[in-house]
Amino acid sequence: MTVKYSNEHEWIRVEGDVGTVGISQYAQEQLGDVVFVEVPQAGRKVAKGESVAVVESVKAASDIYSPVSGEVTEGNAALADAPGDINAAPMGKGWIFKVKLANKADLDGLMDQAAYDAFVKSLS
């Protein structure tokens, strides 16, 4: 089970045909303290690159884009009461939504860990 990254700093971890999506450690550091998260409803059809969630930090609101096309199977309801989970564990309990992939080939255009690490390094 591998993790892939978008150049918008979302990660996706795929098990079977369902991917779990969140934001990277780098992204949460850039955003700062998260105070509100709007997660998508189950059943929503999303297109790759579409804005599907909003993460609000004290400073600003940031759109979260789906790294793949498909259908949302679950939004992380726990974030309503614990938005800081995104800061504490962005790749763990701070996940944002799960999506049933329409086309696994969408993953091919994403970065693997090494490529993403190099991408982040190029930004600093």
Residues that bind other proteins (CB under 8 A): 32-33, 35-36, 38, 54, 56-61, 80, 87
Q: Which residue has the tokens 């996940």?
A: 95
* Separation CA 71–CA 85 (nearest Å): 24
Q: Which residue has the tokens 């080939």?
A: 105
Q: Which is nearer to other proteins, 19 or 75 (CB)?
A: 75
Q: Which is nearer to other proteins, 31 or 99 (CB)?
A: 31
> Nearest distance from residue 104's CB to other proteins, in Å?
30
Sign of the C-alpha dihedral computed for residues 116, 14, 91 and 7 taken in this order: positive
> Nearest distance from residue 112's CB to other proteins, in Å?
28
Q: What number of CA atoms fall less than 13 Å from residue 90's CA on the CB side?
A: 21
> Nearest distance from residue 39's CB to other proteins, in Å?
12
Q: Which is nearer to other proteins, 86 or 101 (CB)?
A: 86
